[in-house]
Structure 1
């Protein structure tokens, strides 16, 4: 049986995440045992083997449909590494990468993990395992390999040279999803900037790309000859990217005054802000729609929401506030995206309350919780009151709910689909958003009825009476609102 047949036979026999590329590892183990070197190395096979992660394949069973999809989709194999004791976390991460790849429009053929303490500085997996990966890619008919980490440019090039197909990393997949889903001008500019920052150190030149362009006027056939060595094609590309990045930064900076004006308007009218933050695909937009009937895009895909949506609603006692739907987080979120989308994440920084949404049905909610709280901490928003919400509670059983209660005893369990738990969440929001606490007594002329309406909308009216010159009203208001009411205040006798 040749090495490829042995790979596929092992995969069929051990679909429950056992060793995939066992041939060479078994041979090494046998040699060591026969010679007595290093004693009994019972875990040598496991230490050196790549593992198949079950349940990742999204290839269709209908061959005709597969062939149709292959015309427009990439067929990918996922790879990753894990240290001792980190197999479960690595499998969850690889399944998340499979969901990311699907969202980007790929067909996942297989997922492979290798146990090793550190990535190989040259080919990520090591030379021998990279060659075995090449055989598996050829057997599966894959045209792309996706690594579950951010590869150094040299690692990507070296692995491509061995495997013979395109190699990308987790960051490239996320950037591709963002480029597909961004709709607003600001969102598109932010994504393009992040893509260029990622691309710049990864430019690769071949043949004519490395040759010099003519300097001076020689390119147009004028002059005696070159006025200098000119630029290589790759240097020209780098310069153009730098120029484009500079323009994009200015463009994104130009959007800031509009955002500030909107926030200032909400602040001037004393409207509290509640930001919905959380892991991608946790159901944030569904929750926004359930509370406000906003009609925001909802899709069972990662990063369906990239552009901030702001909707206005009110508490049961009539106090207005805004709900802000923000971009979701993901583990190992590329640094370029954190920086590029900082303007979007400002809504989290400046919120009065954060609704932190988690997927109750996810196999590892604790890691999602830690990931989002790390990003919230980076934004400097750790001190903002937080309501932890386990969404999709209709998909979990009572035992799972008890386990999640142990993780976060104060969490609210809701289902945006069925509406369960929404009333409890609204009550918690009502308790946490700022309440009007400055008492004012006003005499408002009858022709200024808009002032009375604003008090009813954004304050708490204590008493109302009518006099010859206007409406006498006692109310509780926010500090921002009190300053605009000075002209109507009743001066004590």
Structure 2
């Protein structure tokens, strides 16, 4: 079904189809389905919709619509039918029988994209678990047999990834054993990540997580902040103008010019109707957001569906238990909208471009205002023989003034509560 990863020379064609039951964002989800299809290196040939109060239980679409889809596929030489919903095993089998097309539902499409984009061991394990959970009730569905056969050589198909056997050779017990084994491996990886996270927590650094819809510009924002603060180029994260360009959470330490420091994480992007298997599997990855001191929701201001994207992000955050954390709403790509003036701040919102230095400087200002409100300006007299404390100040605080007296160094600095506690004995007052 899916094209082999050969550089994109040939794309399989697909008919996209969905049921309009009066939902407010139907057109938006169909446009999104087209973008997901392209992300899976499949060419959308035609979109067909049907207005129904609810799907037909056995075939999802009505019989007339299935005939229309079959004829359209023949006319367009399309071999795939991609449906904007998660189908039951019966629906999947019956649609395939009546159309002679390879049927892919929305969940399978997203799982396939995730399987191709996962690079770290943790992400690969998470995707494998989610894929097997999806596959478990569909063992008898013939379309998934073709899924195996056509993707086995590509390195991309999720149904063959990590299994080592074809669909027909597996039974429920085998798949459940695989899931249990993968979960055990994932638990080991998660423990390693938790150890790293505890080490970061001991550093007392404030943490910021970039969240938002896939392809809104989170990675571009992260790279812009890294570049602006003088970080090495090797610290840059992968970015590309595509849905789910990366699934791997990246954490980087950023030190601003005034010595304030944060840990910045770039999390996996969201999409509407993200399969529940993936939401569950990626809870650990998304825990960077759950434990952050500040969230920056990056939103594509140039997209006409920006409001729906905000709703999607916030719904997904609630699903993984992320609540009560301060959030900056960062409306990115303002440079693509001539009517937008940028950069500008309005309350907890910023309109900006992640490729514009002035925009990034304003975003940094918002980050500091939110995270470092508890910093205090203090003056200390540090004896010359207590140089280690002076070093600590110069490394971790924003130095406002320095004088040298007979008894030591008189220094005024903006300090964190933790630093203020350590240096309390050196506080100076006239």
What TM-score do you get using the length of structure 1 for normalisation? Answer: 0.71
Q: How does 1:332-347 map to 2 (within 5 A)?
A: 332-347=273-288
Report the secondary structure of 2:321's partner residue.
coil
Report the secondary structure of 1:343's partner residue.
coil
Q: Which position in structure 2 is the counterpart of 1:238? A: 172
Evaluate the alpha carbon distance shift between residue 69 and residue 165 of structure 1 in structure 2; reply closer, same or farther with a 3 A threshold. Answer: farther
Q: Which position in structure 2 is the counterpart of 1:155? A: 91
Gaps of 5+ in 1: 1-67, 210-232
Q: Is the 8 A contact 2:19 2:52 kept in 1?
A: yes
Aligned mate of 2:66, from 101, 105, 130: 130
More off after superposition, 178-187 vs 428-437: 428-437
Deviations, residues 153-208 of structure 1 (Å, cap 9, x unaligned): 111111111111110111111111111111111111111111111111111167xx
1:436 equivalent in alignment to 2:375: yes
Q: Is the 8 A contact 1:438 1:479 kept in 2?
A: no
Q: Is the 8 A contact 2:92 2:141 kept in 1?
A: no
Q: How does 1:19-418 map to 2 (within 5 A)?
A: 73-84=11-22, 86=24, 89-204=25-140, 236-293=170-227, 294-398=235-339, 410-418=348-356
Evaluate the alpha carbon distance shift between residue 422 and residue 239 of structure 1 in structure 2; reply closer, same or farther with a 3 A threshold. Answer: same
Question: Which is greater in Rg?
Answer: 1
Q: Which position in structure 2 is the counterpart of 1:57? A: none
Evaluate the alpha carbon distance shift between residue 242 and residue 277 of structure 1 in structure 2; reply closer, same or farther with a 3 A threshold. Answer: same
Deviations, residues 23-63 of structure 1 (Å, cap 9, x unaligned): xxxxxxxxxxxxxxxxxxxxxxxxxxxxxxxxxxxxxxxxx
Aligned mates of 2:76, 2:220 — CA distance in 1 = 38
Q: CA deviation at 1:146?
A: 0.5
Report the secondary structure of 2:171's partner residue.
helix
Report the secondary structure of 2:330's partner residue.
strand
Q: Is the 8 A contact 1:268 1:480 kept in 2?
A: no
Q: Is the 8 A contact 1:446 1:469 kept in 2?
A: no
- The count of aligned residue pairs is 390
Q: Which position in structure 2 is the counterpart of 1:60? A: none
Aligned mates of 1:70, 1:260 — CA distance in 2 = 38
Q: CA deviation at 1:474?
A: 7.7
Evaluate the alpha carbon distance shift between residue 343 and residue 261 of structure 1 in structure 2; reply closer, same or farther with a 3 A threshold. Answer: same
Q: CA deviation at 1:256?
A: 2.3
Report the secondary structure of 2:285's partner residue.
helix
Evaluate the alpha carbon distance shift between residue 258 and residue 437 of structure 1 in structure 2; reply closer, same or farther with a 3 A threshold. Answer: farther
Deviations, residues 342-386 of structure 1 (Å, cap 9, x unaligned): 111101111111110111111211100111111222333331111
Report the secondary structure of 2:286's partner residue.
helix
Report the secondary structure of 1:287's partner residue.
helix
Aligned mate of 1:457, from 395, 401, 422: 395
Evaluate the alpha carbon distance shift between residue 442 and residue 165 of structure 1 in structure 2; reply closer, same or farther with a 3 A threshold. Answer: farther
Aligned mates of 1:304, 1:344 — CA distance in 2 = 16
Aligned mates of 1:394, 1:141 — CA distance in 2 = 39
Evaluate the alpha carbon distance shift between residue 410 and residue 401 of structure 1 in structure 2; reply closer, same or farther with a 3 A threshold. Answer: farther
Evaluate the alpha carbon distance shift between residue 115 and residue 419 of structure 1 in structure 2; reply closer, same or farther with a 3 A threshold. Answer: farther
More off after superposition, 180-189 vs 312-321: 312-321
Evaluate the alpha carbon distance shift between residue 205 and residue 101 of structure 1 in structure 2; reply closer, same or farther with a 3 A threshold. Answer: closer
Report the secondary structure of 1:149's partner residue.
coil
Q: Which position in structure 1 is the counterpart of 2:161? A: none
The higher relative CO (CA closer than 8 Å, separation ≥ 6) is in 2
Deviations, residues 265-319 of structure 1 (Å, cap 9, x unaligned): 2222221111110100001101111111342111111000210111222345321
Report the secondary structure of 1:311's partner residue.
strand
Evaluate the alpha carbon distance shift between residue 158 and residue 475 of structure 1 in structure 2; reply closer, same or farther with a 3 A threshold. Answer: same
Q: CA deviation at 1:83?
A: 2.3
Aligned mates of 1:422, 1:490 — CA distance in 2 = 36
Deviations, residues 121-170 of structure 1 (Å, cap 9, x unaligned): 11111222112211211221111100011111111111111111110111
Q: CA deviation at 1:263?
A: 2.3
